[in-house]
Amino acid sequence: MFRIRITPRWELERVDGAAPQADTTALIALLAAIAETGAIAEAARALGLSYRNAWGQVKQAEALFGQPLLVAGRGRGSTLTPLAEKLIWADKRVAARLSPLLQSLASELEGELERTLPAPPRVLRLHASHGFAVAALLEELQAQQLPLELRYRNSFESVAALAHGECELAGFHVPIGEFEAAAAERYRSWLQPEKHRLVHLAVRTQGLFAAPGNPRRIGGVEDLKRPDLRFVNRPTGSGTRLLTELLLARHGLSPRQVNGFDNAEFTHAAVAAFIASGMADVGLGVQTAAQRFGLHFIPLLRERYFLAFNAADEARPDLRALLALMRSVPYRSRVAALPGYEAAHTGEVCGVREAGLVG
Protein backbone atom coordinates (compact mmCIF):
# COMPACT_ATOMS: atom_id res chain seq x y z
CA MET A 1 0.00 0.00 0.00
CA PHE A 2 1.34 3.44 -0.98
CA ARG A 3 0.79 6.79 0.70
CA ILE A 4 1.26 9.97 -1.33
CA ARG A 5 1.34 13.43 0.17
CA ILE A 6 1.21 16.56 -2.01
CA THR A 7 1.42 19.90 -0.25
CA PRO A 8 1.25 23.46 -1.63
CA ARG A 9 4.59 25.25 -1.87
CA TRP A 10 5.20 28.71 -3.23
CA GLU A 11 8.25 30.94 -3.62
CA LEU A 12 8.87 34.66 -3.77
CA GLU A 13 11.42 36.41 -5.92
CA ARG A 14 11.98 39.87 -7.35
CA VAL A 15 11.66 40.14 -11.11
CA ASP A 16 14.81 42.28 -11.21
CA GLY A 17 16.83 39.63 -9.39
CA ALA A 18 18.00 42.20 -6.84
CA ALA A 19 17.54 39.82 -3.90
CA PRO A 20 17.58 36.05 -3.45
CA GLN A 21 14.25 34.25 -3.70
CA ALA A 22 12.50 33.09 -0.53
CA ASP A 23 10.86 29.73 0.12
CA THR A 24 7.74 30.77 2.00
CA THR A 25 7.26 27.41 3.74
CA ALA A 26 9.94 28.00 6.37
CA LEU A 27 9.44 31.77 6.50
CA ILE A 28 5.71 31.63 7.18
CA ALA A 29 6.14 28.92 9.80
CA LEU A 30 8.60 31.24 11.54
CA LEU A 31 6.35 34.30 11.25
CA ALA A 32 3.39 32.35 12.62
CA ALA A 33 5.50 31.17 15.56
CA ILE A 34 6.61 34.75 16.27
CA ALA A 35 2.98 35.87 16.22
CA GLU A 36 2.11 33.11 18.69
CA THR A 37 5.06 33.53 21.07
CA GLY A 38 5.69 37.26 20.74
CA ALA A 39 9.44 36.83 20.44
CA ILE A 40 11.76 35.61 17.71
CA ALA A 41 13.93 33.76 20.24
CA GLU A 42 10.93 31.77 21.52
CA ALA A 43 9.74 31.13 17.97
CA ALA A 44 13.16 29.82 16.94
CA ARG A 45 13.27 27.54 19.97
CA ALA A 46 9.80 26.17 19.20
CA LEU A 47 10.84 25.36 15.62
CA GLY A 48 14.20 23.88 16.55
CA LEU A 49 16.15 26.71 14.92
CA SER A 50 19.08 28.71 16.16
CA TYR A 51 18.43 32.37 16.91
CA ARG A 52 20.91 33.28 14.19
CA ASN A 53 19.18 31.09 11.62
CA ALA A 54 15.77 32.58 12.43
CA TRP A 55 17.06 36.13 12.14
CA GLY A 56 18.75 35.22 8.88
CA GLN A 57 15.45 34.05 7.38
CA VAL A 58 13.72 37.26 8.45
CA LYS A 59 16.50 39.52 7.16
CA GLN A 60 16.64 37.71 3.80
CA ALA A 61 12.90 38.15 3.36
CA GLU A 62 13.09 41.82 4.40
CA ALA A 63 15.81 42.36 1.79
CA LEU A 64 13.50 40.77 -0.79
CA PHE A 65 10.60 43.10 0.06
CA GLY A 66 12.64 46.15 0.94
CA GLN A 67 10.66 46.69 4.13
CA PRO A 68 10.47 45.17 7.61
CA LEU A 69 8.47 42.12 8.64
CA LEU A 70 8.92 42.62 12.39
CA VAL A 71 8.51 45.53 14.77
CA ALA A 72 10.64 45.30 17.91
CA GLY A 73 8.75 46.08 21.08
CA ARG A 74 9.96 46.77 24.54
CA GLY A 75 12.41 44.25 25.89
CA ARG A 76 12.84 41.30 23.53
CA GLY A 77 9.34 41.14 22.12
CA SER A 78 8.44 41.41 18.44
CA THR A 79 5.21 41.87 16.52
CA LEU A 80 4.43 41.31 12.86
CA THR A 81 4.07 44.14 10.39
CA PRO A 82 0.98 44.24 8.12
CA LEU A 83 3.13 42.77 5.34
CA ALA A 84 4.09 39.77 7.49
CA GLU A 85 0.45 39.25 8.47
CA LYS A 86 -0.53 39.38 4.79
CA LEU A 87 2.03 36.69 3.99
CA ILE A 88 0.43 34.40 6.56
CA TRP A 89 -3.02 35.09 5.13
CA ALA A 90 -1.71 34.43 1.61
CA ASP A 91 -0.41 31.04 2.70
CA LYS A 92 -3.73 30.19 4.34
CA ARG A 93 -5.53 31.08 1.14
CA VAL A 94 -3.19 28.94 -0.95
CA ALA A 95 -3.81 26.02 1.40
CA ALA A 96 -7.57 26.58 1.51
CA ARG A 97 -7.87 26.58 -2.27
CA LEU A 98 -5.34 23.89 -3.18
CA SER A 99 -5.10 21.42 -0.28
CA PRO A 100 -8.42 19.63 -0.99
CA LEU A 101 -7.55 19.34 -4.68
CA LEU A 102 -4.08 18.02 -3.91
CA GLN A 103 -5.44 15.62 -1.32
CA SER A 104 -7.90 14.30 -3.89
CA LEU A 105 -5.14 13.99 -6.51
CA ALA A 106 -2.87 12.17 -4.07
CA SER A 107 -5.63 9.67 -3.30
CA GLU A 108 -6.26 9.08 -7.02
CA LEU A 109 -2.54 8.54 -7.67
CA GLU A 110 -2.35 6.07 -4.79
CA GLY A 111 -5.14 4.09 -6.42
CA GLU A 112 -3.42 4.13 -9.81
CA LEU A 113 -0.15 2.89 -8.30
CA GLU A 114 -1.93 0.15 -6.39
CA ARG A 115 -3.63 -1.02 -9.58
CA THR A 116 -0.25 -1.60 -11.21
CA LEU A 117 0.51 -4.37 -8.71
CA PRO A 118 0.18 -8.02 -9.84
CA ALA A 119 -2.86 -8.47 -7.59
CA PRO A 120 -4.28 -5.00 -7.06
CA PRO A 121 -6.42 -4.63 -3.92
CA ARG A 122 -10.11 -3.86 -4.15
CA VAL A 123 -10.37 -0.35 -2.75
CA LEU A 124 -13.46 1.67 -1.90
CA ARG A 125 -13.78 4.79 -4.04
CA LEU A 126 -15.43 7.84 -2.46
CA HIS A 127 -16.53 10.81 -4.58
CA ALA A 128 -17.76 13.64 -2.38
CA SER A 129 -18.20 17.35 -2.03
CA HIS A 130 -15.48 18.72 0.21
CA GLY A 131 -16.29 18.91 3.90
CA PHE A 132 -14.41 18.92 7.19
CA ALA A 133 -16.05 15.68 8.37
CA VAL A 134 -15.02 13.99 5.09
CA ALA A 135 -11.43 15.16 5.52
CA ALA A 136 -11.46 13.86 9.11
CA LEU A 137 -12.81 10.51 7.88
CA LEU A 138 -9.96 10.14 5.39
CA GLU A 139 -7.40 10.92 8.10
CA GLU A 140 -8.94 8.35 10.47
CA LEU A 141 -8.95 5.70 7.75
CA GLN A 142 -5.32 6.41 6.90
CA ALA A 143 -4.38 6.18 10.59
CA GLN A 144 -5.92 2.71 10.71
CA GLN A 145 -4.41 1.80 7.33
CA LEU A 146 -7.82 1.25 5.78
CA PRO A 147 -7.53 2.13 2.07
CA LEU A 148 -9.92 4.60 0.47
CA GLU A 149 -9.60 6.40 -2.86
CA LEU A 150 -11.06 9.88 -2.45
CA ARG A 151 -12.01 12.30 -5.20
CA TYR A 152 -13.52 15.68 -4.38
CA ARG A 153 -16.36 16.62 -6.71
CA ASN A 154 -19.57 18.56 -6.24
CA SER A 155 -22.57 16.78 -4.74
CA PHE A 156 -24.41 16.24 -8.00
CA GLU A 157 -21.36 14.91 -9.82
CA SER A 158 -20.68 12.54 -6.91
CA VAL A 159 -24.16 11.01 -6.85
CA ALA A 160 -24.14 10.70 -10.65
CA ALA A 161 -20.77 8.92 -10.43
CA LEU A 162 -22.26 6.40 -8.00
CA ALA A 163 -25.14 5.73 -10.38
CA HIS A 164 -22.69 5.21 -13.24
CA GLY A 165 -20.53 2.78 -11.27
CA GLU A 166 -17.55 5.14 -11.03
CA CYS A 167 -17.39 4.90 -7.23
CA GLU A 168 -18.77 2.91 -4.30
CA LEU A 169 -19.61 5.91 -2.08
CA ALA A 170 -20.96 9.37 -2.92
CA GLY A 171 -21.06 12.30 -0.52
CA PHE A 172 -23.78 14.95 -0.78
CA HIS A 173 -25.72 17.29 1.49
CA VAL A 174 -29.36 18.34 1.80
CA PRO A 175 -30.70 21.33 3.79
CA ILE A 176 -33.14 20.70 6.63
CA GLY A 177 -36.42 22.56 6.47
CA GLU A 178 -38.12 24.58 3.73
CA PHE A 179 -35.47 23.93 1.07
CA GLU A 180 -35.17 20.18 1.66
CA ALA A 181 -37.70 19.09 -0.97
CA ALA A 182 -36.24 21.34 -3.69
CA ALA A 183 -32.68 20.16 -2.99
CA ALA A 184 -33.66 16.48 -2.74
CA GLU A 185 -35.41 16.73 -6.11
CA ARG A 186 -32.01 17.31 -7.75
CA TYR A 187 -30.78 13.89 -6.54
CA ARG A 188 -33.87 11.81 -7.32
CA SER A 189 -32.83 10.90 -10.84
CA TRP A 190 -29.68 9.26 -9.43
CA LEU A 191 -30.73 7.80 -6.07
CA GLN A 192 -33.02 4.77 -6.28
CA PRO A 193 -34.75 3.50 -3.11
CA GLU A 194 -34.47 -0.11 -4.26
CA LYS A 195 -30.78 0.15 -5.11
CA HIS A 196 -29.14 2.63 -2.74
CA ARG A 197 -28.59 3.08 0.97
CA LEU A 198 -27.36 6.10 2.93
CA VAL A 199 -25.05 6.49 5.88
CA HIS A 200 -25.41 9.66 7.92
CA LEU A 201 -22.13 11.56 8.17
CA ALA A 202 -23.09 14.72 10.06
CA VAL A 203 -25.43 17.63 10.49
CA ARG A 204 -23.72 20.96 9.89
CA THR A 205 -24.66 24.64 10.00
CA GLN A 206 -24.46 26.86 6.93
CA GLY A 207 -24.49 30.64 7.10
CA LEU A 208 -23.01 33.88 5.88
CA PHE A 209 -19.34 34.79 6.38
CA ALA A 210 -18.38 38.39 7.07
CA ALA A 211 -15.19 40.15 8.15
CA PRO A 212 -14.30 40.00 11.87
CA GLY A 213 -16.65 42.19 13.87
CA ASN A 214 -19.00 42.43 10.87
CA PRO A 215 -17.96 46.01 9.96
CA ARG A 216 -20.31 46.08 6.93
CA ARG A 217 -23.24 45.28 9.24
CA ILE A 218 -24.48 42.32 7.23
CA GLY A 219 -27.66 40.96 8.78
CA GLY A 220 -28.90 38.31 6.37
CA VAL A 221 -29.49 37.18 2.81
CA GLU A 222 -31.51 40.31 2.00
CA ASP A 223 -28.30 42.35 2.30
CA LEU A 224 -26.75 40.56 -0.69
CA LYS A 225 -28.56 43.00 -2.99
CA ARG A 226 -26.48 45.87 -1.59
CA PRO A 227 -24.18 47.15 -4.39
CA ASP A 228 -21.45 47.98 -1.85
CA LEU A 229 -21.07 44.30 -0.84
CA ARG A 230 -18.78 41.97 -2.79
CA PHE A 231 -20.01 38.37 -2.74
CA VAL A 232 -17.94 35.22 -3.34
CA ASN A 233 -19.84 32.13 -4.44
CA ARG A 234 -19.29 28.38 -4.76
CA PRO A 235 -18.98 26.68 -8.20
CA THR A 236 -21.94 25.80 -10.38
CA GLY A 237 -23.20 22.31 -9.49
CA SER A 238 -22.19 22.42 -5.84
CA GLY A 239 -24.81 21.88 -3.16
CA THR A 240 -23.97 25.22 -1.55
CA ARG A 241 -24.41 27.01 -4.90
CA LEU A 242 -27.90 25.49 -5.14
CA LEU A 243 -28.59 26.54 -1.56
CA THR A 244 -27.51 30.10 -2.40
CA GLU A 245 -29.91 30.19 -5.34
CA LEU A 246 -32.76 28.87 -3.18
CA LEU A 247 -32.06 31.47 -0.47
CA LEU A 248 -32.01 34.28 -3.02
CA ALA A 249 -35.32 33.14 -4.51
CA ARG A 250 -36.79 32.93 -0.99
CA HIS A 251 -35.96 36.63 -0.52
CA GLY A 252 -37.13 37.68 -3.98
CA LEU A 253 -33.63 38.30 -5.29
CA SER A 254 -32.06 37.28 -8.60
CA PRO A 255 -28.39 36.36 -9.06
CA ARG A 256 -27.98 39.46 -11.25
CA GLN A 257 -28.63 41.62 -8.19
CA VAL A 258 -25.69 40.11 -6.29
CA ASN A 259 -22.35 41.82 -6.85
CA GLY A 260 -19.84 39.00 -7.43
CA PHE A 261 -22.31 36.14 -7.88
CA ASP A 262 -20.16 34.66 -10.65
CA ASN A 263 -16.95 34.72 -8.56
CA ALA A 264 -16.50 31.20 -7.20
CA GLU A 265 -14.13 29.34 -4.88
CA PHE A 266 -13.88 25.53 -4.70
CA THR A 267 -14.30 24.96 -0.95
CA HIS A 268 -15.85 26.54 2.14
CA ALA A 269 -12.36 27.24 3.46
CA ALA A 270 -11.37 28.95 0.21
CA VAL A 271 -14.44 31.21 0.48
CA ALA A 272 -13.47 32.05 4.06
CA ALA A 273 -9.87 32.79 3.06
CA PHE A 274 -11.08 35.02 0.20
CA ILE A 275 -13.10 37.11 2.65
CA ALA A 276 -10.41 37.11 5.32
CA SER A 277 -7.98 38.49 2.73
CA GLY A 278 -10.31 41.41 2.09
CA MET A 279 -11.08 40.39 -1.49
CA ALA A 280 -14.81 39.99 -0.77
CA ASP A 281 -17.22 41.02 1.97
CA VAL A 282 -19.61 38.10 2.24
CA GLY A 283 -20.04 34.46 1.25
CA LEU A 284 -21.97 31.35 2.21
CA GLY A 285 -20.43 28.33 3.91
CA VAL A 286 -20.14 26.12 6.97
CA GLN A 287 -19.39 27.50 10.42
CA THR A 288 -16.12 25.57 10.81
CA ALA A 289 -14.52 27.47 7.93
CA ALA A 290 -15.62 30.82 9.32
CA GLN A 291 -14.15 30.07 12.73
CA ARG A 292 -10.85 28.82 11.34
CA PHE A 293 -10.33 32.13 9.56
CA GLY A 294 -11.61 34.28 12.42
CA LEU A 295 -14.67 35.50 10.52
CA HIS A 296 -18.03 36.68 11.77
CA PHE A 297 -20.68 34.00 11.18
CA ILE A 298 -24.43 34.51 10.66
CA PRO A 299 -26.18 31.10 10.89
CA LEU A 300 -28.97 30.49 8.38
CA LEU A 301 -29.86 26.79 8.41
CA ARG A 302 -28.72 23.25 9.14
CA GLU A 303 -28.18 20.48 6.61
CA ARG A 304 -27.60 16.74 6.59
CA TYR A 305 -24.52 15.29 4.93
CA PHE A 306 -24.88 11.69 3.67
CA LEU A 307 -22.71 9.10 1.99
CA ALA A 308 -24.74 7.04 -0.50
CA PHE A 309 -23.76 3.51 -1.53
CA ASN A 310 -25.17 0.52 -3.35
CA ALA A 311 -27.22 -1.73 -1.08
CA ALA A 312 -25.55 -4.75 -2.69
CA ASP A 313 -22.19 -3.57 -1.30
CA GLU A 314 -23.29 -3.35 2.33
CA ALA A 315 -21.80 -6.76 3.10
CA ARG A 316 -18.36 -5.84 1.70
CA PRO A 317 -15.76 -6.15 4.47
CA ASP A 318 -14.10 -2.84 3.59
CA LEU A 319 -17.42 -0.98 3.64
CA ARG A 320 -18.35 -2.63 6.94
CA ALA A 321 -14.99 -1.50 8.35
CA LEU A 322 -15.65 2.05 7.21
CA LEU A 323 -19.11 2.06 8.77
CA ALA A 324 -17.69 0.71 12.02
CA LEU A 325 -15.11 3.49 12.07
CA MET A 326 -17.81 6.10 11.50
CA ARG A 327 -19.74 4.74 14.48
CA SER A 328 -16.68 4.71 16.72
CA VAL A 329 -16.41 7.10 19.65
CA PRO A 330 -13.14 8.70 18.44
CA TYR A 331 -14.52 9.61 15.02
CA ARG A 332 -17.91 10.79 16.31
CA SER A 333 -16.13 12.89 18.92
CA ARG A 334 -13.92 14.38 16.25
CA VAL A 335 -16.93 15.35 14.13
CA ALA A 336 -18.80 16.77 17.12
CA ALA A 337 -15.77 18.94 17.96
CA LEU A 338 -16.00 20.71 14.59
CA PRO A 339 -17.74 24.10 15.05
CA GLY A 340 -21.27 23.92 13.70
CA TYR A 341 -21.22 20.12 13.30
CA GLU A 342 -23.41 17.54 15.07
CA ALA A 343 -22.62 13.82 15.26
CA ALA A 344 -25.65 12.40 17.04
CA HIS A 345 -26.52 10.17 14.05
CA THR A 346 -23.08 9.73 12.52
CA GLY A 347 -22.65 6.19 11.16
CA GLU A 348 -26.37 5.35 11.10
CA VAL A 349 -27.53 3.63 7.90
CA CYS A 350 -30.97 4.16 6.41
CA GLY A 351 -32.84 3.90 3.14
CA VAL A 352 -33.29 6.71 0.63
CA ARG A 353 -37.04 6.79 1.31
CA GLU A 354 -36.50 6.60 5.07
CA ALA A 355 -34.28 9.69 4.86
CA GLY A 356 -37.12 11.55 3.17
CA LEU A 357 -35.31 12.08 -0.13
CA VAL A 358 -38.06 10.50 -2.24
CA GLY A 359 -41.80 10.78 -1.99
12 vs 268, higher pLDDT: 268
Q: What is the pTM of this model?
A: 0.77
Min mean pLDDT across 143-147, 316-320, 344-348 is at 143-147
Distance CA 87, CA 275 (A): 15
Can you give the length of the chain in residues? 359
Burial class (CB in 10 A: 0-12, 13-18, 19+), 331: buried
Min mean pLDDT across 66-75, 153-162, 332-341 is at 66-75
What digits encode the pLDDT tens for the residues 177-224? 999 999 998 898 899 999 999 999 999 999 999 999 999 999 999 999
- By the 8 A CB rule, do 127 and 156 touch? no
* CA 150 vs CA 95, 255, 326: distances in Å: 18, 32, 16
Distance CA 108, CA 138 (A): 13
SS3 169: strand
What's the average model confidence in pLDDT over 302-316?
A: 96
Q: What is the largest CA-CA distance in the chain?
A: 71
